[in-house]
Amino acid sequence: DYSFHGVIQHVDEAILDADGTMVETTGQCKQGMDINYKGQWGYHPLVISLANTGEPLYVVNRSGNRPSHEYAAWYFDQAIRVCRAAGFLKIHLRGDTDFTQSEHLDRWDQEEDVTLTFGIDASKARSLPGVAAVLTYPEIPRVEYSTAGQSDPIPGLLDSF
């Protein structure tokens, strides 16, 4: 259970987000700082957070030239243990393309209480001989439909895509 605006909420599912961000700094001699591929000096921390509440579970400071996914699988595993110990029945891992880490997907998918949503770089799949189509979320056309019964000429608040 957690409190949101003073109201106690019970949540069965923990949603864990992974993200890396570049934090620029102007100092040139700070310990652990480095330059990234864009020529920016700074740090590139990894953040694993509980999206349900916005709480950071892990913040790992890394030098600016480190890849986004570095150490993410290990920290996801730690966060899964923490969430199970906290009583969550389901755990959902999320991250962009950098966090897909295919060597870990099958292992996480085999765990009955863990589900995954990661971005995928489909460019390699599209370039394979014999592949006719690769469908990802951005390629799916948005089709408006009404759940309220009236969507023409102006879509209503209950209309969806």
For 94-104, how does the pLDDT look when each residue is reduced to its tens digit (9 = 90+)? 988 777 777 88
Residue 152's CB is within 10 A of a number of other CB atoms, namely 8
For 21-59, how does the pLDDT look when each residue is reduced to its tens digit (9 = 90+)? 877 787 666 776 777 777 777 888 889 999 988 899 999
pLDDT given at position 15: 94
For 85-129, how does the pLDDT look when each residue is reduced to its tens digit (9 = 90+)? 999 999 999 988 777 777 888 899 899 999 988 877 778 778 888
Task: Report how far residue 84's alpha carbon sits from residue 86's, in angstroms, rounded to the nearest whole number.
Answer: 5
CA angle (98, 104, 106) in 5-degree steps: 120
- The 8-class DSSP code of residue 132 comes to -
Categorize the per-residue pLDDT at 159 as very low, low, confident or very high, splitting at 50, 70 and 90: low
Dihedral angle of Cα 51, 57, 63, 68, to the nearest 10 degrees: -40
Ramachandran area for residue 32 (φ above 0: left; ψ -120 to 50: alpha; else beta):
left
pTM of the model: 0.69
Identify the H or E element spanning 42.
strand 41-43
